[in-house]
Amino acid sequence: MQYSRLIACALAIPALVAFSIPEERITFSPESGTVLTKTFKYSASFELDDMEMLVNGQAPPPQELNISGTSTGEFVFVDEFTKVADGRPSELKRTFETIKTVTNSSTEHPMMGSQESSIESSSELEGMTVSYRWNDENEEFDLRFVDDEDADEELLEELLEDTDLRQLLPEESVSKGDSWEIDPNSLIALLAPAGDLKMKPTEEPEPGSMGSGMESDYSAILGDLEGSFTGELTGIRMTDGDRIAVIRLTLQVTSNKDMTDLMNEALEGSDQPMVPEIESVDSENEFDMEGELLWNMTKGHLKSLTLEGESNTIMDTAGSISMGSESLEFEQTMYLRSEMESELIFE
């Protein structure tokens, strides 16, 4: 009899342990009237790994080409949550305090020599305040400028409300060690906070140079993302009296995008002696990154996020270039590698 009771108790232990693990509901629930300063920073270094080329169907003599550079960005938004309901703001005022990116690049070619460029970009939105009001009928936010009635309404197009990264949270309650799937397209919210900010170089760059403004809208450059993006609750910690959820992020995603129009726009108006006519540009991107998200469960909003890793880009370009009375057809494949770091801090 005692033996059978011991067996019954042993069988019950796993169920009791599982039952005792607390579940956590991680939600967006700041109090109405909350004001947050959100600082997004990123840095990346890139270099050309390899390049293949055909001219009129033939491989030209090998020539060493070196391309490398760095890119940094800082975006500071001040968000006032006038009203919050149903897990999102009902009314939000966002002031775009800082919008700035800087791209430095270096190119070395045996025939064309060395070229250095430094391009700083910003946006007309800097210094402006935008109101986001939820429209129940359309199930989307209506946007308008606050105190800038004469501002260009086109600046509001493709702006996104969610800079709180609510899309990274689990939809259900979770326990320590639980993981969940995240939409791979959520990566765009990390690369392009607040959507298309209409970035433009503060000075006119050389057409087609690295950082000539093509990076200002990642949703257009990357297209739809596919692959794996997961979050895992690794623990709960106390910081300054607040309960902080610690979430590990892991992503391996890819995208394919036809960039023909973007490249032609970048080359438009060039005064260079030989400007190629672009027939097609196809870009394939791979991202392999990990990070940590801290969510303030007491106050109901993100506290900070760090993300780092690498991306690899394969860009296939086809076109022609005129040299006097002769036209040369070319096909080119470039392999680019980047090391990336991103940091978000909410205060």
Instruction: Say if 187 falls within a structural domain.
Output: yes
Number of domain units in the chain = 1
Q: Which residue(s) pair with 227 in the sheet? A: 253
pLDDT band at 275 (very low <50, low <70, confident <90, very high): confident
Instruction: Say if 70 falls within a structural domain.
Output: yes
Q: Could you list the residue range(s) of the whole structural domain that residue 160 is in?
A: 23-346
Q: What is the mean pLDDT of residues 217-237?
A: 86
The pLDDT, as a whole number, for residue 6 is 43
Instruction: Say if 319 falls within a structural domain.
Output: yes
Taking the C-alpha atoms of residue 185 and residue 168, their distance in angstroms, rounded to an integer, is 11
pLDDT band at 213 (very low <50, low <70, confident <90, very high): very low
| Count of other CB atoms within 10 angstroms of residue 306 | 15
Instruction: Say if 229 falls within a structural domain.
Output: yes
Q: What's the pLDDT tens digit per position in 122-154? A: 999 999 999 999 999 999 999 999 987 788 999
Instruction: Say if 295 falls within a structural domain.
Output: yes
Instruction: Say if 190 falls within a structural domain.
Output: yes
Q: To the nearest 10°, the Cα dihedral for 75, 101, 304, 183? A: 100
Whether 314 shows a pLDDT value over 50: the answer reads yes
Instruction: Say if 17 falls within a structural domain.
Output: no
The pLDDT, as a whole number, for residue 219 is 59
Pairing type for strands 242-258 and 225-239 reads antiparallel
Query: What b-and-e string marks burial along 140-171, b requiring 16 or more CB atoms within 10 Å of the CB?
Result: ebebebeeeeebeeebbeebbbbbbbbebbbe
Instruction: Say if 2 falls within a structural domain.
Output: no
Q: What's the pLDDT tens digit per position in 59-75? A: 888 878 899 999 999 99
What's the predicted TM-score (pTM) here? 0.86
